Amino acid sequence: MTRAHDAVSTPSGDGALRLARALELLDAVDGDAAAAGAGARELLAQSESDEAAAVAMRVLGLSLRAGDNSAAATEMRRAVNSAERLGLPLRAAQARTSLLVMLSHQGRTTEALREAELAEAALQGPEVEWDLARLRVNHGLVLQRLGRNAEALSCYAAAEPVLIRHADVRWEVLLLNLRGTMLAYQGKHDAAAADLRRAIGLGESSGMSNIGFSLHLNYGFVLLQAARIPEALKEITHALRIGEQNGTQLEPAYADRANALLTAGLAAEALENAERAIAGQLERGRAFDAAESRLVAARAALAAGQVGRASALAAQARADFTAQRRRTWAAWAWQVELAARFADGERTADLLRELIRCARRLEQSGWLTSPQEARLQAAHTAAALGRRAQAARLYGVIAAKRFSGLASLRILAWEAESERRLLGGDRGGAGRAVTQGLKVLGEFAGTLGATDLRAGSAALGADLAKAGLRLSLEGGSARSLLVRAEQWRAASLRRAPVRPAQSGQLALLLARLRFVTTQAGDDPLAGKDIRAVQRERVKLEEEIRELARHTPGTHASPESPLDLRVLSSTLSGRTLVEYLRLDDELHAIVLAGGRCTRHRIGSYQAVLKELEQLRFAMGLIAKQHGSPRLLAGARQNYGHARVRLDAMLLDPLRRRIGGREELVLVPTGSLHALAWAALPSMENRIVTVAPSARSWLAAEQVPLRTGPVALAYGPDLPHAEDEIAAIAQLYPDAKPLRGGDAVADAVAASWDGARLAHLAAHGRFRKDNPLFSNLELADGPLTVYDLESLGRAPGLLILSACDSALSGIHPGDELMGVASALLALGSKTLIASVAPVDDEYTRTLMTALHTQLGANVRPAQALAKAQAEHPEAPAFICLGSG
């Protein structure tokens, strides 16, 4: 929008036309930067020595800011210098108003503040109040970034009425956008949301599509600060779509998504997004933003257990913040550095002093949670050094926060309260504090609808849950230890996933993914651009994942503690063995005949080493990969590993579990991937595996289905057709889906409400994203996302497929995969494989299994009998209720 005083000189003729054209380009640059930049270059090619040229240089700088901030700053400096040479102080001040933001993006905050000072000196008097108001918005941005929030608010307060009076909607929107973000950092969530909602409304009503990316992104940030994660992710995704349409640089969205994922406990994915943001920001000369993204990456690396990487990232971020004069942010980066030292095992007086100093500095800077994180590590360090009184004081300061604030802060505070009580000798109070903290975690998880978000959120309570386990191991009974272990174990599986509101859109995306995946697997010589197909597959997976995450949870009420009397009664002669670990210590709890005992197993890492040997050998044997000598070695390694695992996991329990009793096994960590039937002690033994004792109880209470039998097989499995044909003879009413009829929609529809379903297909476990683990059907993969749309999962589901029982494992033994999804959806029993399987052996095993089931033998017993007849197929396990 041009104004009378924009023309600060009085050019005539060509000069007037040039200036009018330059001002026209200035108005247009926000809508079409490329075209405005091209127009500015045309003007500058004609002349660089008049007022029009000074304005054109500013236009050129503004046109470059999104793609190359360094080049933009160079052009804007030229605009300032040109205006000053020509004696045009207003034009120079206007250019400085833009330049100071570009300098701040580069981290050159001292220079940015100097430019603001020089511009303000030139903008005195009522005739330039509008320009001064705009300057104050940008000056406030720099002050806000430096943590000088009170000064920033003063700038915004002075600018806002002027902008409203002049009906300058664009700059009012910018002000609201900035102020809302700052208020969110301060924990003033309602005021922040009000600013951003008003900004979005003004922007949309004024057709300001070019700023929609920033507005929706920052509104997502406000929602994130209020821990409204599904809504935050939805806004961030919306911002990304706007950015993609407008050609906006997307790095800020990747950084904010990293923050959201980290808040939800998905550290590895958060780190990936943060590093993606850093790379782009550095490439575009945005060192200021890159420093913040580097801090997010450091926090994510620390949460992912990559301590060295976290330390290096945090140190670099602190150096950047210090150079940029951002003391408040430097304090946070310092806290992450100290946290990395703590995570690496350091417990020294030096670390204690630094943590206390850091906590004070963070508090003075206005941060909410990080001061208490530093203080908690200081308290732990003081306790480790024997400074009990100091530790108790520090714990007490943090514990005072346990009744209000965000869930992450309250969980932290309950951990501090537990430690404070323990120091005072109140073990009961310490345990009750753990229970309260885990209740807060459960309430938070209840706000999340997507399976991966709920599973990831368990990580937020990891330290608290470990404190509870340690309490029970050191001074509690076996019964209390079992109850404590069940508080945190596989909680997400006890809630069915919430279906997205846009389920139709999700179904379309999944159908497209099946098509694209099939295309990617076709002959690369068939004339397709396979790389383009692969890129589309990756993009589709990202869209599916994000869409599922936008659905909030149902806020289910917290669960009551595990009732051991009900559990013992339901076992009814069966023996429960629940494994648990605390750091590298592996333990087991045995509940049999109403009596509960605990047993130390040994090193988890030692067990893991043997498990890896067993699984590797099973894979070679099943696939018959390698020379005869290699396969002979694999069979020998398999024999050794199964004997050693048997001794490690079961010898300490031998007197309690006997030799013939039926077992209900609750594994932990990577033991969920163990083929239990491979262990010598498990031969001819009825075994049921469950994610937790609670989930086993829930499965036991699922009524038997009375629906039809669903049979199907997928493509490219040599014995699948014969397998299904043989099984179909045992179920005369079954109508198998064969060949091209076994498409995803048809198979899913046949499973819905079936009493028994059997699928023979290739299975694929996706370690990188377990919710894309799948079963290969005629039209492509049937993923976990597809399964989560089932109305009623089959009562008994048998998956004759490799790796179909494998799950991704998160803290708290939260499982994600095909099998775990079906249990969460209400299947009573699932029989599936935890390893690659030989097709021929599988076919004969399945025929034997169904023969037993047809004789009304329970699933776990039927599998045990079938495996006794065919011991060469030990990879299958019975999950859920036996």
**Do 526 and 578 sit in the same domain of this protein?**
no
CA 147 – CA 361 distance, rounded (Å): 12
The answer to whether 591 and 665 are in contact (CB under 8 A) is: no
Question: At which residue do the structure tokens 């014969």 appear?
Answer: 722
Q: How confident is the model at residue 2 (pLDDT cuts 50, 70, 90)?
A: very low
Q: Which residue among 125, 150, 167 closes a domain?
A: 167
Determine which helix (DSSP H) or strand (DSSP E) holds 137, and give its type and residue range. helix 129-145
Residue 283 lies in a domain: no
Under 8 Å CB-to-CB from 178, ≥6 apart: which residues? 137, 140, 141, 144, 152, 156
Tell me how far CA of residue 462 lies from CA of 264, 375, 709, in angstroms. 13, 18, 42
Residue 753 lies in a domain: yes
* 373 alpha carbon, distance to own chain's centre: 21
**Do 572 and 535 sit in the same domain of this protein?**
no
pLDDT > 60? residue 785: yes
What CATH number is associated with residue 749?
3.40.50.1460
Residue % of the chain over a pLDDT of 90: 71
pLDDT > 80? residue 330: yes
**Do 577 and 540 sit in the same domain of this protein?**
no
Coil, strand, or helix at residue 876?
A: strand
Phi, psi of 264 (to 5 degrees): -85, 0
Q: How confident is the model at residue 91 (pLDDT cuts 50, 70, 90)?
A: very high
Q: What angle do CA 102, 106, 111 make, to 5 degrees?
A: 70
**Do 706 and 655 sit in the same domain of this protein?**
no
pLDDT at 717 (0 to 100): 86
Beta carbons within 10 angstroms of residue 122's beta carbon: 20
pLDDT > 60? residue 528: no
Residue 795 lies in a domain: yes
**Do 589 and 536 sit in the same domain of this protein?**
no
Residue % of the chain over a pLDDT of 70: 97
pLDDT > 80? residue 401: yes
Q: Which residue among 143, 167, 191 closes a domain?
A: 167
Q: Which two tokens stand for residue 327?
A: 């003391």
Tell me how far CA of residue 350 lies from CA of 342, 435, 807, in angstroms. 11, 33, 42
Coil, strand, or helix at residue 554?
A: coil
Q: Which comes out higher in pLDDT, residue 219 or 526? A: 219
Residue 870 belongs to domain spanning: 698-880
**Do 757 and 791 sit in the same domain of this protein?**
yes
Q: What angle do CA 101, 104, 107 make, to 5 degrees?
A: 160
pLDDT at 868 (0 to 100): 94
Q: Which comes out higher in pLDDT, residue 720 or 374? A: 374
pLDDT > 80? residue 231: yes
Question: Mean of the pLDDT values across residues 162-189?
Answer: 95
pLDDT > 70? residue 4: no
Coil, strand, or helix at residue 756?
A: strand
For the chain, how many structural domains are there in total? 4
Residue 557 lies in a domain: no
pLDDT > 70? residue 101: yes
pLDDT at 813 (0 to 100): 79
pLDDT > 80? residue 496: no
pLDDT per residue over 818-849, tens digit each?
888 898 888 999 999 999 888 888 999 999 99
On average, the pLDDT of the chain sits at: 91
Least confident of 44-48, 283-287, 743-747: 283-287
pLDDT at 372 (0 to 100): 97
pLDDT > 70? residue 568: yes
The answer to whether 175 and 156 are in contact (CB under 8 A) is: yes
**Do 703 and 808 sit in the same domain of this protein?**
yes
* 462 alpha carbon, distance to own chain's centre: 16
Helices (H), 324-399: 327-343, 349-365, 370-384, 388-399
Question: Mean of the pLDDT values across residues 476-490?
Answer: 91
**Do 839 and 747 sit in the same domain of this protein?**
yes
Residue 590 lies in a domain: yes
Q: Which two tokens stand for residue 139?
A: 């000056």
CA 457 – CA 476 distance, rounded (Å): 27
Q: Which residue among 549, 583, 604 closes a domain?
A: 549
Determine which helix (DSSP H) or strand (DSSP E) holds 709, and give its type and residue range. strand 709-713
pLDDT at 535 (0 to 100): 86
Question: Mean of the pLDDT values across residues 181-205?
Answer: 94
Under 8 Å CB-to-CB from 843, ≥6 apart: which residues? 719, 722, 723, 726, 800
pLDDT > 70? residue 143: yes
CA 482 – CA 59 distance, rounded (Å): 68
Q: How confident is the model at residue 529 (pLDDT cuts 50, 70, 90)?
A: low
Residue 335 lies in a domain: no
636 by Cβ neighbours in 10 Å (0-12 / 13-18 / 19+) ranks as: exposed
pLDDT > 70? residue 556: no
pLDDT at 455 (0 to 100): 87
**Do 104 and 3 sit in the same domain of this protein?**
yes
Q: How confident is the model at residue 710 (pLDDT cuts 50, 70, 90)?
A: very high
CA 651 – CA 681 distance, rounded (Å): 9
pLDDT > 90? residue 876: yes
pLDDT per residue over 582-630, tens digit each?
999 999 999 999 999 999 999 999 999 999 999 999 999 888 878 889 8
Question: At which residue do the structure tokens 């997010």 appear?
Answer: 296
The torsion of the CA quartet 841, 846, 848, 851, rounded to 10 degrees, works out to -170
**Do 777 and 843 sit in the same domain of this protein?**
yes
Q: Which residues of 462-495 are buried (b: 16+ CB within 10 A; e: fewer)?
A: bbbbbbbbbbbbeebebbbbbbbbbbbbbbbbbb
pLDDT > 60? residue 1: no
What CATH number is associated with residue 39?
1.25.40.10
pLDDT at 518 (0 to 100): 83
Question: Mean of the pLDDT values across residues 547-551?
Answer: 89
CA 831 – CA 850 distance, rounded (Å): 12
Least confident of 316-330, 716-730, 800-814: 800-814
Q: How confident is the model at residue 219 (pLDDT cuts 50, 70, 90)?
A: very high
Residue 498 lies in a domain: no
pLDDT > 60? residue 870: yes
pLDDT > 90? residue 312: yes
What is the model's pTM? 0.86
pLDDT > 50? residue 526: no
pLDDT at 582 (0 to 100): 94
Residue 269 lies in a domain: no
**Do 620 and 537 sit in the same domain of this protein?**
no
Q: How confident is the model at residue 230 (pLDDT cuts 50, 70, 90)?
A: very high
pLDDT at 12 (0 to 100): 56
- Signed CA dihedral, 444, 447, 452, 455: sign only: positive
- In order, the DSSP letters of 439-503 are HHHHHHHTTB-SHHHHHHHGGGGHHHHHHHHHHHHHH--HHHHHHHHHHHTTGGGGSPPPPPTTH
pLDDT per residue over 734-743, tens digit each?
989 998 999 9
**Do 640 and 780 sit in the same domain of this protein?**
no
3-state SS record for 629-692 = HHHHHHHHHHHHHHHHHHHHHHHHHHHHHCCCCCEEEECCHHHHHCCHHHCHHHCCCCEEECCC
The answer to whether 586 and 604 are in contact (CB under 8 A) is: yes
Question: Mean of the pLDDT values across residues 385-389?
Answer: 97
